[in-house]
């Protein structure tokens, strides 16, 4: 791949692992990265930024699927989530923060995409973060169980696995991985 070509970086990992915080820090550190904004049909959580997602209705989402407007999409615990087909900006590398089914789809379409899978420092910490998000009670146990299912699948797909035990160190490690990938080919 020529040095100027676009390279897709996928950051995936079970829920509650801190992916959102990590990708925001990554794009601040590396101006060549461009954070893709996903669409979802999930309701906005109390206190969640209005631009965290494009919050769409099911009809709007399904119309976009029909138009072929997603690079990948999935149904995660009853809601749609999808990455709009990236508009390639010369010199910028898209970063996708997505769950494992979407990560698998992107790796199939773009085998040269780099998948960094993030693991929690402990199950207890992960469950605490999942519980602290303002989801309704009936959704929380589903999210904890889903996170347990995702972990082995993601590990198997990943190019790199990192443990988010300390945010600063995790981001440093990922910045190094990204730089090394760009130099590789």
Would you say 38 or 164 has its CB closer to ligand 5GP? 38
- Tell me which residue has its CB nearest to ligand 5GP: 102
Rounded to an integer, what distance in angstroms lies between the CA atom of residue 141 and that of residue 34? 33
**Would you state the structure tokens that stand for residue 43, as one six-digit string?**
């309701």
DSSP, res 77: T
* Contact by Cβ (8 Å): 29, 9: no
Would you say 35 or 182 has its CB closer to ligand 5GP? 35
Give min distance, CB of 185 to ligand 5GP, in A. 26
Give min distance, CB of 56 to ligand 5GP, in A. 11
Give min distance, CB of 4 to ligand 5GP, in A. 26
Binding region for ligand 5GP (CB under 6 A): 15, 19, 38, 42, 72, 74, 76, 81-83, 97-99, 101-102
Look at residues 22, 37, 69 and name the one whose alpha carbon lies nearest to residue 171: 22
Would you say 22 or 178 has its CB closer to ligand 5GP? 22
17 Cβ neighbours under 8 A, 6+ residues apart? 118, 119, 120, 126, 129, 147, 164
Look at residues 114, 95, 109 and name the one whose alpha carbon lies nearest to residue 159: 114
Would you say 83 or 164 has its CB closer to ligand 5GP? 83
Give min distance, CB of 22 to ligand 5GP, in A. 11
């Amino acid at each position: 791949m020529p040095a100027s070509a676009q390279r897709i970086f996928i950051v995936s990992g079970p829920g509650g692992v801190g992916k959102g915080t990590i990708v925001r820090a990554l794009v601040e550190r590396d101006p060549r990265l461009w954070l893709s904004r996903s669409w979802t049909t999930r309701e906005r959580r109390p206190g969640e930024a209005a631009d965290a997602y494009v919050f769409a209705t099911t009809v709007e989402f399904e119309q976009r699927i029909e138009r072929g407007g997603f690079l990948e999409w999935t149904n995660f615990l009853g809601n749609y989530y999808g990455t709009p087909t990236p508009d390639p900006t010369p010199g910028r590398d898209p970063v996708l923060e997505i769950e494992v089914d979407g990560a698998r789809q992107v790796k199939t379409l773009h085998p040269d995409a780099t998948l960094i899978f993030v693991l929690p420092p402990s199950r207890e910490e992960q469950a605490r973060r999942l519980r602290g998000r303002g989801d309704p009670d009936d959704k929380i146990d589903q999210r904890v169980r889903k996170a347990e299912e995702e972990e082995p699948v993601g590990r198997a797909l990943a190019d790199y696995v990192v443990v988010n035990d300390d945010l600063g160190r995790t981001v440093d490690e990922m910045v190094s991985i990204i730089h090394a990938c760009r130099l590789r080919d």
